[in-house]
Every structure is written in C-alpha cells, then in structure tokens.
C-alpha cells in the first residue's frame, strides 16, 4: 500500500553524521545521505540560507532533499552548517563572517565530497548560499550549480564572470514574488553568464513554503535527467517520520530585521 510523502517523511537511505575541516582550522558539522545499497548518480552539496536569520543545514528544502532524494532520485545529499551556524545536528565552530571566511567552508565541503569519491558534484545554494556558490563554488571538481532565490547580495560581477568563462551549467530558480530579486531582473543580471538558465517559478516566494516539491523536481531534472519528474508523491515501502518541531519558532531563511532563536542544541560530537 502506498503512503503519501509528507514534510516529515524520511525515505530509505544511508545517513551519517560527518565533520568538515576547514583550511583555517574550524570543524563544521553536517550529514551525508546516500542511496541505500547502490552508488549515487550525482551529488548535491547544499549551501544554506543566511545563518544569522534562521538559515541552516535543516532549512526545509534541504531537509526534504536529504530525506527524499537518495531514494527517489539516486542522489547523494551533503548538507552542513557553515561557521557559527546551529541546528539539531549541532553547532559548527567559528562565527558568521559575511561571506568572507565562508570561502573555506565551501572548499571543505567540496574537498570532502571529492575525498569520498562522490560522483558528479553539484552545488545547490539557497539565498545566502547562492552567493557562496557564485563566489567560491566554480571549482574544477564541481559540475555545475543550482541557485534557489538568488539575491545577488554578496556576489559581484567578477564572480559571474568566472562562471561565464567556465561554461559550467548554472540554473537560477527565481520565485515570482521573491523579496529581493524577481525573474525579470534576474534575467538581466544573469545575462552576464551566457549559459545561465533563469527559471521563474509562478506564485512562489523567497522561502519556497509550499513549493519545495517544485524545487526538488527542478533540481533532479538537471542533475539526474534519467529520473522522471515530477517525483512521486507516495511511497510503497518502509518510511520513517522525522521530528520537525524543533524549528517551529525559526524561519527557514531570509534577511529578517531581527535574529530568530535557534532550536535546542545537542553537542556537535
């Protein structure tokens, strides 16, 4: 009997807590989720939204990606907390550095994926994470990048020029009602990257609340085109239920006026 896939559904996969070690001496906490019993077709390295205002490795789109895509799309999903960021997984060492020191965090994640011999590494940035991808993600080991709600806040024209020269695929998923950059302006800004694809998502907003499934479909369409989309909304097999209550008082992303409290933490061990 098929069971509906809900926000808290965890489909089968191999999941392990990991640590990343940066070139400037910090330890970052994260998780690697892989398909159960088979080699992944590709790998997503997730770069989360602004940590000072709720962004973290458990921001809802990335949590759903890790809980669903190993089973539904044969993808490995690596997500982690950038320096100073907290989630239920724990707190990464260091402190938020306005997209400067975070260059070492991005490098550490890519290096970890390389060391683990994970195939076809794609960066998936969301909001602040898109700036990290644009500034620091055009690495020889990276196949391409997908940007969710890119504000182009920290990144500069020179960063876009690097991607343009690389020829690597770059897709921006831009909500129709985004708070910072909407589709028409995004097309103008990303025109500097000839191979960039800007996809306007009707009715969506910056936080993708209610639109996570659309985002996951668009990611899979580009990263593992052998998988049919839209992805299934039911699952015929074992399924666990995750606890999402820890984030009831926390936004999933954004540049809010005041910081928000984090969930109760467990040690980063």
In a domain, 138, yes or no: yes
Q: Are 129 and 46 in contact (CB under 8 A)?
A: yes
Q: How far apart are the first and last CA of the chain?
A: 39
Phi and psi torsions of 96, nearest 5°: -55, 135
CB atoms within 10 A of CB 107: 17
Residue 234's domain comprises 8-254
Domain assignment of residue 259, yes or no: no
For residue 10, how far is the Cα from the chain centroid? 17
- The b-or-e profile of 116-146 (16+ CB within 10 A means b, else e) is eebebbbbbbbbbbbbbbbbbbbeeebebbb
Looking at the domain assignment, is residue 1 inside a domain? no
For residue 59, is it within any domain?
yes
Give the Cα separation of 130 and 126 in Å (integer): 5
Q: CATH number for the domain including 227?
A: 3.40.50.1820
- Give the per-residue pLDDT at 250: 59
Residue range 145-164: average pLDDT?
97
Question: What residue spans of the chain are helical by DSSP H?
Answer: 60-73, 102-115, 128-136, 157-166, 183-189, 212-223
pLDDT of residue 248: 65
State the average pLDDT over residues 140-150. Answer: 98
Provide the number of structural domains found in the chain.
1
* pTM, to two decimals: 0.92
In a domain, 260, yes or no: no
Residue 241: φ, ψ to 5°? -120, 125
Bridge pairing between strands 90-91 and 121-126: unpaired
Q: Is residue 264 part of a domain?
A: no
- Using one digit for the tens of pLDDT, what is the confidence trace for 171-230? 999 999 999 999 999 999 999 999 999 999 999 999 999 999 999 999 999 999 999 999
What span, in angstroms and rounded, lies between the C-alpha atoms of 248 and 226?
Answer: 36
d(CA 12, CA 235): 10
Does residue 269 belong to any structural domain of this protein?
Answer: no
Q: Whole-angstrom Cα distance, residue 18 to residue 176?
A: 36
At 53 the three-state DSSP class reads helix
Q: Is residue 262 part of a domain?
A: no
The 10s digit of each residue's pLDDT in 132-141 is 999 999 999 9
User: Environment class of residue 172 by beta-carbon count within 10 Å: exposed (0-12), middle (13-18) or buried (19+)?
Assistant: buried
Q: Which residue has the higher pLDDT, 153 or 264?
A: 153
- Is the pLDDT reported for residue 107 higher than 50? yes
Half-sphere exposure of 40 (CA within 13 A, CB side): 29
């Amino acid at each position: 009997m098929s069971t509906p896939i809900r926000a808290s559904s965890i489909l089968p996969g191999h999941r392990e807590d990991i640590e990343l070690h940066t070139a400037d001496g910090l330890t970052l906490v994260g998780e690697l989720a892989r398909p159960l019993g088979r080699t992944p077709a590709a790998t997503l390295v997730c770069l989360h939204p602004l940590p000072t205002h709720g962004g973290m490795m458990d921001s809802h789109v990335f949590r759903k990606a890790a809980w669903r895509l190993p089973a539904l799309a044969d993808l490995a999903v690596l997500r982690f907390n950038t320096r100073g960021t907290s989630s239920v997984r724990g707190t990464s060492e260091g402190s938020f550095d306005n997209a400067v020191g975070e260059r070492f965090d991005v490098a550490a994640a890519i290096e970890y994926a390389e060391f683990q011999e994970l195939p076809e590494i794609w960066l998936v940035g969301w909001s602040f994470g898109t700036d990290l991808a644009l500034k620091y993600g055009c690495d020889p080991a990276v196949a391409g990048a997908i940007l969710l709600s890119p504000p182009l806040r920290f990144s500069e024209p020179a960063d876009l020029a690097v991607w343009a020269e690389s020829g690597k695929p770059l897709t921006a998923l831009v909500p129709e009602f985004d708070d910072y950059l909407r589709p028409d302006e995004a097309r103008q800004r990303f025109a500097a990257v000839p191979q960039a694809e800007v996809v306007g998502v009707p009715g969506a907003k910056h936080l993708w609340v209610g639109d996570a499934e659309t985002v996951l479909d668009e990611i899979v369409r580009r990263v593992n085109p052998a998988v049919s989309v839209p992805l299934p909304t039911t699952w015929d097999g074992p399924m666990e239920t995750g606890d999402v209550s820890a984030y009831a008082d926390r936004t999933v992303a954004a540049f809010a006026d005041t910081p928000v409290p984090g969930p109760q933490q467990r040690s980063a061990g």
